[in-house]
Structure 1
Amino acid sequence: MGNTMNPTNTSEAPTAHNRRRGRVQLLLIVLGVIGPMILATGMYKFQFWVPESRSYHGELIGNGQTRAEIGVQADEKRWQILVTAPQACSEDCRQLVYLARQVQIGLGRDASRASHALAVAQPLDADYDAQLQREYPQLQRYPLDLPAYQKGAQGSEEAQLWIIDPHSNLVLRYDARIKGKALLNDLRHLLKLSNIG
């Protein structure tokens, strides 16, 4: 009778063992696929294990903030170089507008993938307005909602330049001290990495 029990136990033991082993393998496969996604999401959301070195020159906006959240309503489906002026468009603002156009031209064959724009909270003076119409025919212009801008741009009162992706997400922000070559390199790098726009 003892001999009759042993064959049954030995035939059941490998089956239970194989089942357990199969479950462990399945769990490892699922963790191998889903684990990196969970880790990457956690790194993005909670900003841990983010490398200190960087290859861009502006301030990275990695919080999903959109153009509308800084007070600009636009329906642009390309990359955009946007200058914002919460005050009058003074010398810094005008320099950034000039820079935005030069950078777009500097993109060469990729120039059609980007546009340049100006959003102002106050009306432009007549001379500068006429100059823009004459010399910057492709410059898109928008009104700037000042309360939204002050909230979304953390109260900055200076003219700023933004790179915005085709989904209206803010990507990089610069102040008036940015050099044209650095800005052009950043935008070229983004266009090279991106399949959109």
Structure 2
Amino acid sequence: MSAATRPLDLPEGRKARARGRLQLLLILLVTVGPMILATSMYKMQFWVPEGRSFHGVMIGNGQSRGDLGITAQDQRWQLLVSAPAGCAEDCQQLVYLARQIQIGLGRDASRASHALASAQPLTGDYQAVLGREYPQLQRYPLDLPRYQQTVSEPGPQLWIVDPHGNLVLRYDAKVKGKHVLDDLRHLLKLSNIG
């Protein structure tokens, strides 16, 4: 009998089956292993990174623009400045910053808007400035008691609001425009809405 027609002898057959099982086990480990590891990391809270990729305060409790006392309908991302005590210098700086951030979005600028919600009437001079220099700025009244139930921080705030009206991130008056722009660009990149 020639070597080509001779059946596999027993030790070589076992080696081939063992090699096949090992390959199957490795394939399963490569495909299912990462899912098991990720689930374990989430459930047991190990190897969770301490850093974060956003600069503002994340609003993750399902609050909406309406919870701030603002009734508005805008189907785009919005840079919203809230002014619970009138729009003084720090508020005016945030309004300017919101417009600059929208312009800084470049080709995505049409996906966002900027707005001001004030609890008190604006001064005549500032209203004239807004009319002249901020023609696209949306203005809303702010329901102060409702706002104070939701926000404990004093002073004006800058909010990123998604197209469904959900609050996403909040910044105080000391925020750097680059940080907000980076956060908004990241959100627009990840989002298919607005």
TM over 0.5: yes
Name the structure 1 match of 2:51: 53
| Aligned partner of residue 74 in structure 2, secondary structure | coil
Unaligned runs of 5+ in 1: 1-31
Q: Give TM-score scaled by structure 2 length.
A: 0.76
Name the structure 2 match of 1:25: none
Name the structure 2 match of 1:127: 125
* 1:157 CA displacement: 2.4
Name the structure 2 match of 1:109: 107
Q: Give TM-score scaled by structure 1 length.
A: 0.74
| Aligned partner of residue 113 in structure 2, secondary structure | strand
Paired residue type of 1:163: I
Paired residue type of 1:180: G
1:188 lines up with 2:185 in the alignment: yes
Name the structure 1 match of 2:91: 93
CA RMSD of aligned residues (A): 1.9
| Aligned partner of residue 188 in structure 2, secondary structure | helix
1:50-89 to 2 correspondence within 5 Å?
A: 51-89=49-87
Unaligned runs of 5+ in 2: 1-31
1:131-146 to 2 correspondence within 5 Å?
A: 131-146=129-144
* 1:51 CA displacement: 4.2
Structure 1 residue ranges, 4+ long, deviating more than 4 angstroms after superposition = 48-51
| Aligned partner of residue 185 in structure 2, secondary structure | helix
Q: Which has the higher helix share?
A: 1
1-side partners of 2:111 and 2:127: how far apart? 26
1-side partners of 2:149 and 2:139: how far apart? 21
* 1:181 CA displacement: 0.8
Name the structure 2 match of 1:174: 171
